[in-house]
Structure 1
Amino acid sequence: MTTDSVNTRELILEILLEVTERGQYSHLVIRSVLEKYQYLDKRERAFLTRVAEGTIQRQIELDYILDQFSKVKVRKMKPVIRAILRMGVYQLKYMDSVPASAACNEAVKLAKKKGFGQLSGFVNGVLRGVSRGLDQLTYPKESVDAVKAWSVCYSMPEWIVAQWIGDYGKERTKEILAASLLEAPITVRANLERITPEALAERFKEEGVTAVPLDTEKYPGLSYAYTIFGFDHLNGLSSFKEGLFYVQDISSMMVAEYAAPKEGDHCIDVCAAPGGKSIHLAEKLRGTGHVEARDVSEQKVALIDENIKRCRLTNITAKCQDATVLDETSVRTADVLIADLPCSGLGVLRRKTDIKYRMNPEGEESLVALQRQILSVVCEYVKPGGTLIYSTCTIHTAENEGNARWFEQTHPEFALDTMRQMFPEEHLGDGFFIAKFKRKQDNG
């Protein structure tokens, strides 16, 4: 798995170290490496992506396996050796296309190349032991301790498993856990300001992209959306560079559907980056009205601007604005307000595999408080009769239904219209929550 001087496994090792030791986000690190090494052939980029994502995604299980075969426990290993062994075990257990001898030998070479020649024998011994003993490995029993068993089997921290069982019961939790390990599909929606869904399908065909339209019975309203695959990378598609479609999860598309803006409406999206929901609203306005896409930093605003320019829309602008601080000039100006707020992100684990290791109960509690703080500020922007959408990409009840009920009770000037929790196993989309509120008309 090498091209010229680039060793793919060495790139994978660097990705793992960036994420697990230096605290970088896996999806951003992987994307950066793929962009830097675009000249690698498709097969190698696919190998890199799968091993890097899979090793991070299955980390708890991989560590459990390693601890059965290594005298030195994973937590006491040197970071480079730990990462090399994790990726080696992932290949041995989950990649039939990689011969066991290759997984072991390449791991040994990598240890030596990184200056750990004295530990190359240890690496070799552990991985060959794993290779021989995988079939005899025993896992914790579900009947004895479901939390422990599912934590190892699905590589999910025990506290999350226990929380989901408490919130949703064992059957639903098991479905969510299984879905969290599935490959996330790439879904896109046509930029209806620029092209019809049918014409976009033709463009995809011309570019060699396989595009499957969504089942409109299962996903009503999303007749403009497709699942796409069979292409090399997005930046290589002229249809993408021309802004003819936007990559967006199905669940996220539902925000604009529930918001249902009318032509001429003024819309505000208070935590908008990278801009998908704002751009979707702007497209639905058919060139009328205006969408103001806000976020807290200039860097995030620049990202929104980049996507606005690519989609060539004229009725949307990006603005730097802290959602926790009241903007007096916006009070009661919005027909539609989108509050897709910072959250624990536990609905998007297929795409951002390391979130589950970063989050903790205290982090969730602080997010609940932040969400309430922001909602109490931004609700002031909604006109009488206007719509407020509160959404998150998590499946944590306190952040979702709990906060929706709290807002309903503490802001009686708003009426709850719709509330929906989407789970990743139900459909192609991510775990996602949407609550739609209508501001009551002023008396008199």
Structure 2
Amino acid sequence: MTTSKPVNQVNLRNIVLEMLLKVNKGEKSHVALKSTLDKNVSLDKHQRSFITRLFQGTLERRIELDFIINQFSKTPVNKMKPVIREILRMGVYQIKYMDNVPVSAVCNEGVKLAEKRKFRNLKGFVNGVLRNVARNIEKIEYPKEQKERLSVIYSVPKWIIEKWTKEYGISKTEEMLEGLYKPKATSVRCNTSKATVEEIVKSLEYQGTTVEKSKLYDKALKISGYDKLENLDVFKAGMVTVQDESSMMVGIAANPKEKDYIIDVCAAPGGKSLHVSELLNGTGTVEARDLTEYKIGLIEENIARVGNENIITKVSDATVLDKEAIEKADIVIADLPCSGLGVIGNKSDIKYNITQNQIDELVELQRKILKQISKYVKQGGKLLYSTCTVNRQENDSNVKWIQDNLPFKLQSLNGIVPEQLKCEKGCLQIYPGQYGMDGFFVSLFIRE
């Protein structure tokens, strides 16, 4: 009689621990996740899902997890060895947010991880903290002070809570915080030059993917339930591009006409460039620029997959004037480097690393870039300024700066973007979670 061995004996929690330690050393969370999943090709769908959920959840709930741990540990979290700190965070996340994982498994696996990582002497400490948390998880008392409480419950640094409260009020702030945690399907844009939306939907469903049509844009779909994106036939054939619906609003707002020459100055990984190139119906030219060969490589990968022929790339520093491009472009897209506070629901490490000083520096960089690239716009041409943040300093204040310092007039996006999206003062501010989107800002100017 023979017995079959488990197909995969890989320690999933150890993989997550390694990813968390990489993020602690400065690696971006989405990069760590993608490279890990790409490397571990033998993992099945459920294993990949477990790794993704535990990694992202432990990261996004860090402030709350530390708050809980500190109530049951004599050693404060910030005094712990990084490995032990992450083992405890992972354990508490599973206890509080992963109901299908038995507490006994959480504690036992935490102890095994400590031993595996050469911290045998701290096995008892890890076990004691996790079991104590498990016994008392329903009795946790959160801070009474409102902003402190919001900071802990939603795991967003208090200074960001204070900033949003000052700019938007407490009610809108809570709404945005809730939006960060709304479940999100993958948003894809259909390339209708290759197939109809219905054909794409049919292919996705044939491969077992759950598909929901967008309420905002007839070329957008929300997909879930698939294993690897790269295995979907429509992705391999270049019929869809992954792009958040909020980002699609840039192409919609640009509203290009056939034969336009468009420059996208900070284009990587190329979603917006591809979108406007498709809207040109095979005519015109889109020049997708970015700072480094690596970023241009990301754009070219997407171009090769999609196969659009009216798009070219160029390595270019947007802060340096390109004299050959002066007054050549019908449209300039300036989706500029920003604080990213609109996408912290997807990239949790941003909220822990960004500072107010960095935001101030980003505003200066945005204005330095705008001063140069605005010169590429023809008389009567369009400038699209957008960011993936909800920070008024980078959005509203920069709109005013453009009007005060550059020869451009603000154009209202009402009647251009989907009617469900209301444009305050003519600009589009999307809040995290609104229609299942990331936080995003779009403004449109015409050169006078």
TM-score, length-scaled by structure 1: 0.95
Shift of 1:67: 0.3
| Aligned position for 1:23 | 26
| Aligned position for 1:333 | 328
Q: Does 1:398 align with 2:393?
A: yes
| Aligned position for 1:11 | 15
Kindly report which structure 2 residues correspond to 1:224-263, keeping only aligned pairs within 5 A, or say none. 224-263=219-258
Q: Does 1:132 align with 2:135?
A: yes
| Aligned position for 1:100 | 103
Q: Does 1:318 align with 2:313?
A: yes
Stretch deviating more after TM superposition (27-36 or 176-185): 176-185
1:236 & 1:257 partners in 2: Cα distance? 29
Kindly report which structure 2 residues correspond to 1:376-415, keeping only aligned pairs within 5 A, or say none. 376-411=371-406, 413-415=407-409
Shift of 1:237: 1.1
TM-score, length-scaled by structure 2: 0.95
Aligned residue among 44, 47, 53 for 2:47: 44
1:351 & 1:122 partners in 2: Cα distance? 32
What are the ranges of 5 or more consecutive residues in structure 2 without an aligned counterpart? 1-5, 413-426
2:384 & 2:7 partners in 1: Cα distance? 49
RMSD of Structure 2 on Structure 1 (CA) = 1.0
User: SS of the counterpart of 1:317?
Assistant: strand
Q: Which amino acid aligns with 2:196?
A: T
Q: Does 1:294 align with 2:289?
A: yes
| Aligned position for 2:368 | 373
The answer as to whether partners of 2:182 and 2:433 remain within 8 angstroms in 1 is no
Shift of 1:3: 5.7
**Identity %, equivalent residues:** 49
Alignment length (residue pairs): 429
2:357 & 2:183 partners in 1: Cα distance? 29
Shift of 1:35: 1.0
The answer as to whether partners of 1:19 and 1:26 remain within 8 angstroms in 2 is yes
1:113 & 1:425 partners in 2: Cα distance? 40
Q: Which amino acid aligns with 2:14?
A: E
Shift of 1:437: 0.2
Q: What is the CA deviation profile of residues 391-433 of structure 1, one whole-angstrom value per residue up to 9, with x for unaligned ones? A: 000000000011111111111x210003111101321111000
Q: What is the CA deviation profile of residues 18-39 of structure 1, one whole-angstrom value per residue up to 9, with x for unaligned ones? A: 112x111111101111111122
Q: Does 1:156 align with 2:159?
A: no
Shift of 1:189: 1.0
Aligned residue among 423, 428, 434 for 2:436: 428
Q: Which runs of 4+ in 1 moved over 4 A?
A: none
The answer as to whether partners of 1:3 and 1:40 remain within 8 angstroms in 2 is no
The answer as to whether partners of 2:182 and 2:436 remain within 8 angstroms in 1 is no
Kindly report which structure 2 residues correspond to 1:79-228, keeping only aligned pairs within 5 A, or say none. 79-141=82-144, 145-215=145-215, 219=216, 222-228=217-223
The answer as to whether partners of 2:107 and 2:130 remain within 8 angstroms in 1 is yes
User: SS of the counterpart of 1:430?
Assistant: coil
1:349 & 1:57 partners in 2: Cα distance? 8
The answer as to whether partners of 1:183 and 1:350 remain within 8 angstroms in 2 is no
2:222 & 2:314 partners in 1: Cα distance? 31
What are the ranges of 5 or more consecutive residues in structure 1 without an aligned counterpart? none
The answer as to whether partners of 1:57 and 1:181 remain within 8 angstroms in 2 is no
User: SS of the counterpart of 2:314?
Assistant: strand
Q: What is the CA deviation profile of residues 98-129 of structure 1, one whole-angstrom value per residue up to 9, with x for unaligned ones? A: 00110000000010011000000000000011
The answer as to whether partners of 1:184 and 1:351 remain within 8 angstroms in 2 is no
| Aligned position for 2:415 | none
Shift of 1:5: 4.0
Q: Which amino acid aligns with 1:23?
A: G
